[in-house]
Structure 1
Amino acid sequence: MRRRMPSAVALLPALALLAACQSSGGKASGGDASGPTRVTVAHVPSTLFAPLYLAQAKGYFKEQGLDVDLRKVQAGQDAVPLAGTGKVDAVVAGFSAGLFNGMAQGLKVKVVASMGASTGARPSPTALEVAKRVLDSGEVKNTTDLKGRKVAVAGGAGAAGGYQLAATLRGAGLTLKDVTVVNVAIPDMRSALADGGVDAALAPAPFTTAMEEADVAEPLAVPPRGTSATGVVFGTAFAGKPAADKFLTALRKGAADLQGGGATSEETVGVLAKATGQKAEVLRKTPPYQWDPRLAPDTGQLDAQKQAYRDAGLLR
């Protein structure tokens, strides 16, 4: 299967990040005996990555002697190659079919940690939202009825959302090939559902809440408990440095703060509002994800994700 090359527009965020890295000296990690080690991290702003933002805001990276430079990108799949070439040290984002294809072809990166996972409970931080018009008409009564219909996923079938959709459809005996996956940016999903562009959308909170409050869509299904398609990727050159272990130590401390009621505390809400640009009052209504306190890579989820992409014909 021929892989579609990214458009010039799609590459702009990554190219901008590359230029920023080059202007700061080209190499991502640095430091000397008299100062902290600089670590450059590309990330897609999301509550999924709460351990990263807590570690930064609470000074856990500084405790480890690290000066962490967080750089926002629109799509993690565009930033992963920069980690492979040492332009950034780490990428915290969703895993895509492109990541697995790149690794198979020798891209010098390693998956070193997990991030947020679905709780499987309702309300869910991620849900399969179905347009009210097809629910009210009786055309769609359950997930099985989505067969042959258009479903919006940010980034398309090969993105992290594609795997989350596959995991959600699996309970109804469907695969990604049984629906038409349409690449729609998350902020545009509500209008796509309203105007008939798609019949359903795999969306994260708080966008799910907005759709429901506008009476545009209702949640039909949620990803099973433990479903995860995001995490931390290191460039292999950085992975072998002492700073890499220190970075993970600080991340785990952030994850520990999210256990119990920590994910919904006012302190956490404030940190996430600042990091993601979302309003605190919206985040208070947003169901939290769950995090392994050790942030260990979930090999079962990684294997399941690869299989879903393979079944959809997206892996070489």
Structure 2
Amino acid sequence: MAKKSRKNRDVAPPAEGEVGPRQPCPCGSGKRYKACHGAAGGATSPFVARPFEGLAGECDLIALRELVPAATAPLTLADGVTGAGTRVVKLCTLLPAAAPAMVRDSGEVWLGLQVQHHYGDPSRDLAAVLLTALEQAERGESGIVGLTSDPGAGPRLQDVLATPELDVTVHDGFEYWVADVDQAGDDFTAALQQANETIHPTERLTGVEAAYWTNVGTKEHLRWVMPHDEDALLTALARLHAAGKDVLVEDSRFVGMFRAHGLLAPVWDLPVGTGAAALEEPASRFAAELETALAQSADLTPEERSARAGLANRQVTIR
């Protein structure tokens, strides 16, 4: 009797939200899940699907980590943390040489978000780097602070930061790298210029949370990280889509969503020339309509069910 092909064996598909064994590991290591956080002993720390949950600025934190090129925000340390109340701490999308953290000559501590540590819990990893940098600053030592091994169990950002919303400043370039120095060397100036050439113009909308307009040259986008439960958000978006209420401005198009750190971020394509200012009123109106749709409990109509099925399959890339 011929052996059954492995390809023909019935394999139960992963449940919604679950990672399949042959899919890329969500930690970003580049390995398959079964060889990383899905393997016994494959990763020393458990993978945390929504690492920034509970932080007041969760949505903006995800946006700054995943899609905003150059931005900063001051951080407030929780009582009892080294330097609380005295040390200036700044959150940055990206630091020179993609450093995890830096202690500046001024004594300020800068924490970089766009760093991939691959240890399962970005919140714990970022907290470990921040605490190390704060201790280094207390010793009067400046320089880069890194994380070269799994820090193991320990405080997370939720433990070391106070809870105010992030006061985000989006920058046109990385000049904030040298804002606190009198003169940068030629090599650093060249690196700064090269980094600035990679930036697409980006602005944060002021009327809603964690919505960012960007111009990539051939088109413009609005990318909006939302805090809602994924299932409830999909249902609400389906109601609005079926009603034709997800068009922000003329000729704009809701193209799909991406997932990042446990939350969904809807994405719109916009006509070139739209700009961020033109989105303020439509985005605020959409946010109000979305809250109304989230509160509805009636069964979906056939049109809404069809819209939901289509939306669930509209996965887009972050960049």
Q: TM-score by structure 2 length?
A: 0.26
Relative to its length, the structure with more helix (as a share) is 1
Report the structure number with the largest CA radius of gyration: 2
Q: TM-score by structure 1 length?
A: 0.26
More relative contact order in 1 or in 2 (CA 8 Å, sep 6+)? Answer: 1
